[in-house]
Amino acid sequence: MRFCLFLSLLLLSGLFAPSAWAGSGYHTCTGKNGVKIFTNLPCNRQNTSGISGPRDVFYKSKTPAGAIEFSSKPPVGRTYVAVEVGGCPACRLDSTINWTATRLNLTDYAATIAAAAIEHGVDQALVRAIIHAESAFNPDALSRKGAQGLMQLMPGTAGQYGVTDAFDPDQNIKAGVQHLAALLKRYGGDTSLVAAAYNAGEGAVAKYNNTVPPYAETKVYVERVGILQKRYAEAADPAAAVATPVVAAGAPG
Protein backbone atom coordinates (compact mmCIF):
# COMPACT_ATOMS: atom_id res chain seq x y z
CA MET A 1 0.00 0.00 0.00
CA ARG A 2 1.28 3.43 -0.94
CA PHE A 3 2.17 5.78 1.95
CA CYS A 4 1.31 9.47 1.77
CA LEU A 5 3.92 11.46 3.63
CA PHE A 6 2.05 14.72 3.73
CA LEU A 7 1.68 16.15 7.20
CA SER A 8 -0.96 18.53 8.48
CA LEU A 9 -0.31 21.59 10.61
CA LEU A 10 -4.01 21.99 11.31
CA LEU A 11 -4.98 21.62 14.97
CA LEU A 12 -7.24 18.78 15.99
CA SER A 13 -9.77 21.10 17.54
CA GLY A 14 -10.43 22.87 14.26
CA LEU A 15 -10.30 20.05 11.76
CA PHE A 16 -13.54 18.15 11.50
CA ALA A 17 -16.56 20.27 12.26
CA PRO A 18 -19.61 18.03 12.80
CA SER A 19 -21.41 19.81 9.95
CA ALA A 20 -18.66 18.81 7.52
CA TRP A 21 -19.21 15.13 8.29
CA ALA A 22 -23.00 15.22 8.56
CA GLY A 23 -24.53 12.59 6.33
CA SER A 24 -21.12 11.14 5.43
CA GLY A 25 -21.55 7.94 7.46
CA TYR A 26 -18.75 8.89 9.86
CA HIS A 27 -18.95 9.23 13.64
CA THR A 28 -16.94 11.46 15.95
CA CYS A 29 -15.77 9.45 18.96
CA THR A 30 -13.71 10.50 21.96
CA GLY A 31 -10.86 8.36 23.24
CA LYS A 32 -8.38 8.61 26.06
CA ASN A 33 -7.51 12.15 27.21
CA GLY A 34 -10.23 13.58 25.01
CA VAL A 35 -8.55 12.67 21.72
CA LYS A 36 -11.08 12.42 18.91
CA ILE A 37 -11.27 9.80 16.20
CA PHE A 38 -13.43 9.89 13.08
CA THR A 39 -14.75 6.54 11.96
CA ASN A 40 -17.50 4.87 9.93
CA LEU A 41 -18.56 2.59 12.82
CA PRO A 42 -20.62 3.77 15.80
CA CYS A 43 -18.65 4.84 18.84
CA ASN A 44 -19.94 1.95 20.95
CA ARG A 45 -18.20 -0.42 18.52
CA GLN A 46 -14.80 1.28 18.85
CA ASN A 47 -11.93 0.56 21.19
CA THR A 48 -10.55 4.03 21.85
CA SER A 49 -8.81 3.29 25.14
CA GLY A 50 -5.37 3.05 23.59
CA ILE A 51 -5.48 6.38 21.79
CA SER A 52 -3.58 9.16 23.44
CA GLY A 53 -2.27 12.48 22.22
CA PRO A 54 -3.33 14.80 20.84
CA ARG A 55 -1.15 15.42 17.79
CA ASP A 56 -1.42 17.78 14.80
CA VAL A 57 -1.06 14.96 12.26
CA PHE A 58 -3.98 12.74 11.28
CA TYR A 59 -3.67 9.10 10.34
CA LYS A 60 -6.03 7.07 8.21
CA SER A 61 -6.20 3.33 8.78
CA LYS A 62 -8.60 0.40 8.76
CA THR A 63 -9.48 -1.36 11.99
CA PRO A 64 -9.69 -5.17 12.25
CA ALA A 65 -13.47 -4.75 12.13
CA GLY A 66 -13.20 -3.00 8.77
CA ALA A 67 -13.87 0.53 9.98
CA ILE A 68 -12.10 3.42 8.31
CA GLU A 69 -10.58 5.43 11.12
CA PHE A 70 -8.87 8.81 11.45
CA SER A 71 -6.83 9.34 14.59
CA SER A 72 -4.36 11.86 15.96
CA LYS A 73 -1.77 9.15 16.75
CA PRO A 74 -0.32 6.49 14.42
CA PRO A 75 -2.22 3.25 15.03
CA VAL A 76 -0.20 0.36 16.43
CA GLY A 77 -0.01 -2.87 14.50
CA ARG A 78 -1.69 -1.84 11.26
CA THR A 79 -0.87 0.02 8.09
CA TYR A 80 -1.80 3.70 7.96
CA VAL A 81 -1.36 6.81 5.85
CA ALA A 82 -0.70 10.34 7.06
CA VAL A 83 -3.48 12.43 5.54
CA GLU A 84 -2.76 15.82 4.03
CA VAL A 85 -5.24 18.31 5.38
CA GLY A 86 -5.74 21.35 3.21
CA GLY A 87 -6.59 20.15 -0.26
CA CYS A 88 -7.15 22.17 -3.44
CA PRO A 89 -3.72 23.42 -4.47
CA ALA A 90 -5.36 25.50 -7.22
CA CYS A 91 -7.40 27.40 -4.62
CA ARG A 92 -4.40 28.92 -2.88
CA LEU A 93 -3.91 32.61 -3.53
CA ASP A 94 -0.26 32.33 -2.47
CA SER A 95 0.47 29.39 -4.76
CA THR A 96 3.94 29.48 -6.34
CA ILE A 97 3.08 26.77 -8.86
CA ASN A 98 3.56 27.69 -12.51
CA TRP A 99 0.28 26.32 -13.83
CA THR A 100 1.39 26.68 -17.45
CA ALA A 101 4.36 24.40 -16.86
CA THR A 102 3.65 22.19 -13.84
CA ARG A 103 3.97 18.50 -14.60
CA LEU A 104 0.77 16.83 -15.84
CA ASN A 105 -0.45 13.43 -14.71
CA LEU A 106 -1.61 11.58 -17.82
CA THR A 107 -1.64 8.02 -16.50
CA ASP A 108 -3.13 7.66 -13.01
CA TYR A 109 -6.70 6.31 -12.91
CA ALA A 110 -6.82 6.33 -16.74
CA ALA A 111 -9.37 3.52 -17.10
CA THR A 112 -11.76 4.92 -14.48
CA ILE A 113 -11.55 8.47 -15.83
CA ALA A 114 -12.09 7.31 -19.41
CA ALA A 115 -15.05 5.09 -18.55
CA ALA A 116 -16.81 7.71 -16.41
CA ALA A 117 -16.13 10.53 -18.87
CA ILE A 118 -17.45 8.55 -21.82
CA GLU A 119 -20.52 7.37 -19.90
CA HIS A 120 -21.49 10.89 -18.84
CA GLY A 121 -20.25 12.86 -21.85
CA VAL A 122 -17.56 14.82 -19.99
CA ASP A 123 -14.23 15.88 -21.49
CA GLN A 124 -11.48 13.75 -19.96
CA ALA A 125 -9.20 16.79 -19.98
CA LEU A 126 -11.68 18.61 -17.72
CA VAL A 127 -11.82 15.66 -15.34
CA ARG A 128 -8.03 15.52 -15.07
CA ALA A 129 -7.87 19.30 -14.67
CA ILE A 130 -10.32 19.19 -11.75
CA ILE A 131 -8.48 16.31 -10.07
CA HIS A 132 -5.16 18.09 -10.54
CA ALA A 133 -6.58 21.35 -9.19
CA GLU A 134 -8.43 19.82 -6.26
CA SER A 135 -6.04 17.17 -4.93
CA ALA A 136 -3.00 16.89 -7.21
CA PHE A 137 -4.05 13.24 -7.70
CA ASN A 138 -3.82 12.42 -3.99
CA PRO A 139 -6.68 9.98 -3.22
CA ASP A 140 -6.32 10.63 0.52
CA ALA A 141 -6.60 14.42 0.29
CA LEU A 142 -8.86 15.99 2.90
CA SER A 143 -9.84 19.65 3.10
CA ARG A 144 -10.44 21.76 6.18
CA LYS A 145 -14.14 21.84 5.24
CA GLY A 146 -14.39 18.06 4.95
CA ALA A 147 -14.03 17.60 1.17
CA GLN A 148 -12.61 14.17 0.47
CA GLY A 149 -10.51 12.31 -2.05
CA LEU A 150 -9.33 12.90 -5.59
CA MET A 151 -12.15 15.22 -6.66
CA GLN A 152 -12.67 16.62 -3.16
CA LEU A 153 -16.28 15.59 -2.75
CA MET A 154 -18.17 17.15 0.10
CA PRO A 155 -20.10 14.56 2.12
CA GLY A 156 -23.45 15.80 0.81
CA THR A 157 -22.32 15.55 -2.80
CA ALA A 158 -20.82 12.12 -2.20
CA GLY A 159 -24.08 10.93 -0.67
CA GLN A 160 -26.07 12.35 -3.57
CA TYR A 161 -24.23 10.02 -5.94
CA GLY A 162 -24.27 6.96 -3.70
CA VAL A 163 -20.65 7.08 -2.56
CA THR A 164 -19.90 4.90 0.46
CA ASP A 165 -16.16 5.63 0.61
CA ALA A 166 -15.08 8.98 -0.84
CA PHE A 167 -11.43 7.98 -0.49
CA ASP A 168 -11.91 5.10 -2.91
CA PRO A 169 -10.59 6.41 -6.26
CA ASP A 170 -13.17 4.64 -8.41
CA GLN A 171 -16.15 5.82 -6.37
CA ASN A 172 -14.77 9.32 -6.05
CA ILE A 173 -14.08 9.75 -9.77
CA LYS A 174 -17.40 8.27 -10.87
CA ALA A 175 -19.33 10.59 -8.55
CA GLY A 176 -17.19 13.60 -9.40
CA VAL A 177 -17.72 13.08 -13.12
CA GLN A 178 -21.47 12.71 -12.60
CA HIS A 179 -21.41 16.01 -10.74
CA LEU A 180 -19.44 17.66 -13.53
CA ALA A 181 -21.95 16.33 -16.06
CA ALA A 182 -24.81 17.87 -14.07
CA LEU A 183 -22.99 21.20 -13.89
CA LEU A 184 -22.19 21.16 -17.60
CA LYS A 185 -25.86 20.59 -18.35
CA ARG A 186 -26.90 23.38 -15.98
CA TYR A 187 -24.48 25.90 -17.46
CA GLY A 188 -24.82 24.95 -21.11
CA GLY A 189 -21.29 23.58 -21.36
CA ASP A 190 -19.62 26.74 -20.03
CA THR A 191 -16.58 25.27 -18.29
CA SER A 192 -15.73 28.55 -16.55
CA LEU A 193 -19.09 28.48 -14.78
CA VAL A 194 -18.71 24.77 -14.13
CA ALA A 195 -15.37 25.37 -12.43
CA ALA A 196 -16.78 28.33 -10.50
CA ALA A 197 -19.69 26.26 -9.23
CA TYR A 198 -17.39 23.37 -8.35
CA ASN A 199 -15.35 25.75 -6.23
CA ALA A 200 -17.87 28.20 -4.78
CA GLY A 201 -21.16 26.35 -5.19
CA GLU A 202 -24.07 26.74 -7.55
CA GLY A 203 -25.71 29.22 -5.21
CA ALA A 204 -22.78 31.60 -5.50
CA VAL A 205 -22.91 31.45 -9.31
CA ALA A 206 -26.65 32.13 -9.25
CA LYS A 207 -26.16 35.03 -6.84
CA TYR A 208 -24.02 36.77 -9.42
CA ASN A 209 -26.43 36.20 -12.31
CA ASN A 210 -24.69 33.13 -13.67
CA THR A 211 -21.25 34.69 -13.85
CA VAL A 212 -18.03 33.76 -12.08
CA PRO A 213 -18.38 35.08 -8.50
CA PRO A 214 -15.91 37.88 -7.70
CA TYR A 215 -14.22 35.86 -4.98
CA ALA A 216 -10.43 35.92 -5.21
CA GLU A 217 -10.12 32.19 -4.64
CA THR A 218 -12.79 31.31 -7.19
CA LYS A 219 -11.29 33.59 -9.84
CA VAL A 220 -7.83 32.07 -9.60
CA TYR A 221 -9.32 28.57 -9.39
CA VAL A 222 -11.32 29.07 -12.60
CA GLU A 223 -8.30 30.43 -14.39
CA ARG A 224 -6.05 27.59 -13.26
CA VAL A 225 -8.59 24.89 -14.14
CA GLY A 226 -8.86 26.46 -17.60
CA ILE A 227 -5.09 26.37 -18.03
CA LEU A 228 -4.93 22.76 -16.88
CA GLN A 229 -7.81 21.64 -19.08
CA LYS A 230 -6.18 23.19 -22.13
CA ARG A 231 -2.86 21.56 -21.33
CA TYR A 232 -4.41 18.13 -20.72
CA ALA A 233 -6.33 18.40 -23.98
CA GLU A 234 -3.17 19.37 -25.85
CA ALA A 235 -1.26 16.48 -24.28
CA ALA A 236 -3.94 13.99 -25.34
CA ASP A 237 -4.54 15.51 -28.78
CA PRO A 238 -2.89 18.76 -29.88
CA ALA A 239 -5.82 19.57 -32.15
CA ALA A 240 -8.23 19.38 -29.21
CA ALA A 241 -6.79 22.56 -27.69
CA VAL A 242 -8.75 24.56 -30.24
CA ALA A 243 -11.98 23.39 -28.58
CA THR A 244 -10.86 24.23 -25.04
CA PRO A 245 -9.74 27.88 -24.95
CA VAL A 246 -8.60 29.30 -21.64
CA VAL A 247 -11.05 31.90 -20.40
CA ALA A 248 -9.86 34.12 -17.59
CA ALA A 249 -12.29 34.47 -14.69
CA GLY A 250 -14.66 37.34 -15.35
CA ALA A 251 -13.75 37.63 -19.01
CA PRO A 252 -16.61 37.90 -21.51
CA GLY A 253 -17.56 34.68 -23.25
Distance CA 105, CA 142 (A): 20
Burial 8-41 (b: 16+ CB within 10 A, else e): bebebeebbeeebbeebbbbebebeeebbbbbbb
Annotated catalytic residue, options 69, 134, 217, 234: 134
Q: What are phi and psi of 28, to 5 degrees?
A: -95, 115
Is 234 assigned a catalytic role? Answer: no
Q: How far is 225 from 228, CA to CA, in rounded Å?
A: 5
What amino acid positions are annotated as catalytic residues? 134
